[in-house]
Amino acid sequence: MATDRPAVELRAVSKSFGTRKVLDDVSLTIEAGRSICILGRSGTGKSVSLKTIIGLIRPDTGGVLIEGEDITGLSSRELSRVRKRIGFLFQYAALFDSISVGENVAFPLRRHSDLANDEIRSRASHLLTQVGLGREYDKMPSDLSGGMKKRAGLARALALQPPILLADEPSAGLDPVTAGEIDALLVTLKQQSSTTLIVVTHNIPSARTIADELVFLHEGRIIAQGAPAALDRSDIPLVRQFMTSEGAG
Amino acid sequence: MHLLVVVGEAARFAGRVIVESVRPPYEFRETLRQLFELGCRSVPLIAASGFAVGIVLSMHTRASLARFGAEALIPAGLAIALVRETGPLTAGLLLSGRIGAGIGAELGAMKVTEQIDALEATAVDSFRYLVVTRVIACVIALPLLTSLMNFTGMFGGYVAETSITGTPFQAYFRQAFTAIEFSDLIPATLKTMVFGFIIASVASYLGINTNSGTEGVGRASTQSVVASSILLIAANVLLVRIIFFFYPV
């Protein structure tokens, strides 16, 4: 659902853990329906940015706006309302290990929809089929490989058909074929549902496939931002080095 | 100083549990599931322990009362000892081991694998879903399990006694129940609700604040048992004092 307001806006966000500043005055506007990839070396604040956007981490200073609403001061109940509009794929999938893979995907539907049980199961199965796990509904997360867990995590993130999807390294640890399939699925989502995508990745080929725009974080600050072609020509050596690498995630 | 901070945080945590447990919406389904997981699954442990404690207590009671030729008081003496103190305290300590360790390890593992963040990201209030449900389940389960321990303890006492004297079942239990008054049974059983609150709150606090990976999970589990046992024993002293204030002997 496209709106006039940006889907996500970070306004001068700073966040420190102890004495270490992880995000330093980061401002970023992402229009609805756009897809961006956040790049950068490990430990530069990429995952923290995603968790700040969904309100899992509160910034020390600055504001986070989701579809125009500042979420930094919201109560947990108000935050839940906003989070229903955001899907989140965790770096290590974070599947609930006490319930089956299918029930993981069905979980958001059971919590936040009035659908009948059969309909929920059917939707969860369909989502699992979309990510190539159609036959794994009744398996437990511990029975899946790392790549399969990640795909199941993606299916869960998409369960409520969120207009905004955050993905933390969706192709890390996957074989090239599966990584390509995940990339294709994300591109399809963007094209068919106008989903706003914010993806953290080290995988430059993936980033080129998915992103309209790349954002390069270094030591908590955005040091480069633009279309992939523009970053290819960046005069910052670190950015150029990153862009010319084949970083396989 | 650090200890004071922890105590302050834990007290605030416990206060939040009380506030959130009376505030709708309620997590009935998850609370029932926890009641089954924490309560029903503890039945074999409590029943077997109660039976064994009853046998041992009966043997000690017989040895003591036989000196005064008062063997006829064995059922009454055993029943009062079990109901007033041995049953509640033994059940509390056993359950602080089984339930406290379980909650500490489960929530700790969920924390380090980002499952708690994943709950929040799917717009579920993790505190209400994970903590409040477990505390309510424990508060309900403890008096029920204590009653079971009292009964199996008396049954164990009967088995021990009848094997020596051949006392009939009905005669034994008539004597035992005749000796028990309201002030023996109800306050002592209800005080275990406080034990349940302590066990689940302490274990949840330590589990949810776990860090340092799997080592932290193990530490949370162990600390849950140690801390809840100590607090339970301390609370018992206070509660017995209060009971004696309202029901003087």
Domain boundaries, chain B: 27-246
Q: Which of A84, A92, A108 sits opposite B114 (nearest CB)?
A: A92
Q: Which two tokens stand for residue A78?
A: 């108000």
- Whether A36 contacts A217, CB under 8 Å: no
Return the number of other C-beta atoms located less than 10 Å from residue B25's C-beta: 8
Q: What is the pLDDT of residue B1?
A: 63
A56 and A174 housed in the same domain: yes
A134 and A196 housed in the same domain: no
A8 and A126 housed in the same domain: no
Which of A161, A182, A209 is the last residue before a domain boundary? A161
Which of A108, A143, A161 is the last residue before a domain boundary? A161
Contacts of B127 in chain A (CB under 8 A): 76
Q: What is the pLDDT of residue A94?
A: 96
Contacts of B118 in chain A (CB under 8 A): 88, 90, 94-96
Q: Which of B114, B121, B127 sits opposite A83 (nearest CB)?
A: B121
| Residue percentage of chain A with pLDDT more than 90 | 70
- Whether A163 contacts A5, CB under 8 Å: no
A80 and A102 housed in the same domain: no
A171 and A157 housed in the same domain: no
Condensed to tens digits (0 to 9), the pLDDT of residues A181-209 reads: 888 889 988 888 889 999 999 889 889 99
Q: How far apart are CA B47 and CA B184, in angstroms?
A: 21
- Mean pLDDT to the nearest integer, A231-243: 89
In a domain, A131, yes or no: yes
Contacts of A77 in chain B (CB under 8 A): 125
Domain that holds residue A208: 1-85+164-249
Contacts of A95 in chain B (CB under 8 A): 115, 118
* Cis-peptide into A205, omega within 30 deg: no
β-strand pairing of A61-66 with A8-17:
antiparallel
A6 and A112 housed in the same domain: no
In a domain, A90, yes or no: no
A189 and A231 housed in the same domain: yes
The ipTM of this complex is 0.91
A213 and A173 housed in the same domain: yes
Q: What is the mean pLDDT of chain B?
A: 93
Nearest CA of chain B to the CA of A15: how many Å?
Answer: 18
A147 and A208 housed in the same domain: no
In a domain, A24, yes or no: yes
Domain count, chain A: 2
A125 and A248 housed in the same domain: no
Report residue B113's pLDDT band, with 50, 70 and 90 as the boundaries: very high
Q: Do B124 and A111 touch (CB under 8 A)?
A: yes
Q: Do B115 and A94 touch (CB under 8 A)?
A: yes
CATH number at residue A177: 3.40.50.300
- Mean pLDDT to the nearest integer, A126-149: 92
A156 and A174 housed in the same domain: no
A105 and A155 housed in the same domain: yes
- pLDDT for residue A249 is more than 60: no
